[in-house]
Amino acid sequence: MHFEPFQIGAVPVGGSLPVFILGPCALENETFAWEMARSLKEIADRTGIPFIFKASFDKANRTSVKSFRGPGVADGCRILGQIGKELGVPVTTDIHTAEQAEIASETIDLLQIPAFLCRQTDLLEAAAKTGRAINVKKGQFLAPWDTINIAEKMRAFGCQSFFITERGTTFGYNNLVADMRSLYWIRKEGIPVIFDATHSVQRPGGLGGATGGDGELAPVLARAAVATGIDGLFMETHSDPANAMSDGPNQIPLEFMEDLLVRLIAVHHAAHGA
């Protein structure tokens, strides 16, 4: 099965290159968000990638109650909306409630459903009814073929412009495994698929009061996913991962991003002749 190509702002889905969803894990502050967005836009322009900027306004499922969460839905969507408008790029963020779906849809081009909420029917319906494109993260507890039911919900709610994101499957305690076969199986069902290279190398709760990870492996998995065949690649990046306020161990240093993208584009062309 194949899906009908669609647009997210000016970014084509199903074009000659995968969509690249890049940005920091969290909206740490407004100045930081703008610095990251401008830097990534310049990199995207130089490399010619279809680029969507991402950042989270609320890290609602942090390991510890003491962890940083973010500026909240109103300020977060305002910041992202202004970034998208000024830089001319689509923006995305995750939502957690039906009320947030309605608020975010006013300024956000691609609404993301967190992995732990991927089966929440009311949330999926609320997101679909906004008319925005939707990215549903596959839960760490789901098999690849379980995403067929998610896709059926999205279509039943009138949404044809959606992705499923593979972001690893629970593998014992405090660890995930990324199965590249799942990318093939999900796409075979006519579902556009994104690979999340940075969350796939998480070690959830691995630091006791925080999530750890193997960030050095994210580029490795990204290359494998691009070679396997995907419609989008999700990678979190930070100018100073060691001091990031969320998911620092998994984020790719911004200074390495341009070289990585050049390599990924080369892998895509070599593997798929496009």
Span 174-227, pLDDT tens digits: 888 999 999 999 999 999 999 999 999 877 665 555 556 677 899 999 999 999
| pTM, rounded to two decimals | 0.94
Report yes or no: 165 and 138 within 8 Å, Cβ to Cβ.
Answer: yes
Radius of gyration of the chain (CA): 17
Report yes or no: 162 and 156 within 8 Å, Cβ to Cβ.
Answer: no
Q: Three-state SS for 220?
A: helix
Structural domain includes residue 15: no
| Bridge partners for 238 per DSSP | 253
What pLDDT, in 10s, does the model give residues 100-147?
Answer: 999 999 999 999 999 999 999 999 999 999 999 999 999 999 999 999
Structural domain span for residue 142: 22-268
What pLDDT, in 10s, does the model give residues 245-265?
Answer: 887 888 999 999 999 999 999
Structural domain includes residue 6: no
What pLDDT, in 10s, does the model give residues 95-106?
Answer: 999 999 999 999
Q: How far apart are CA 50 and CA 198, in angstroms?
A: 19
Report yes or no: 226 and 233 within 8 Å, Cβ to Cβ.
Answer: yes
Distances (CA, A) of 222 to 128, 209, 236: 28, 28, 12
Q: Which of 184, 123, 115, 130 is nearest to 161 (CA)?
A: 130
Domains in the chain, number: 1
Per-residue pLDDT band at 1 (split at 50, 70, 90): very low
Structural domain includes residue 8: no
Structural domain includes residue 10: no
Structural domain includes residue 11: no
- Tell me the residue length of the chain: 274
Structural domain includes residue 246: yes
Structural domain includes residue 137: yes
Per-residue pLDDT band at 69 (split at 50, 70, 90): confident
Residue type, 267: V
Q: Domain containing 111 — which CATH number? A: 3.20.20.70
Structural domain includes residue 45: yes
| Bridge partners for 237 per DSSP | 252
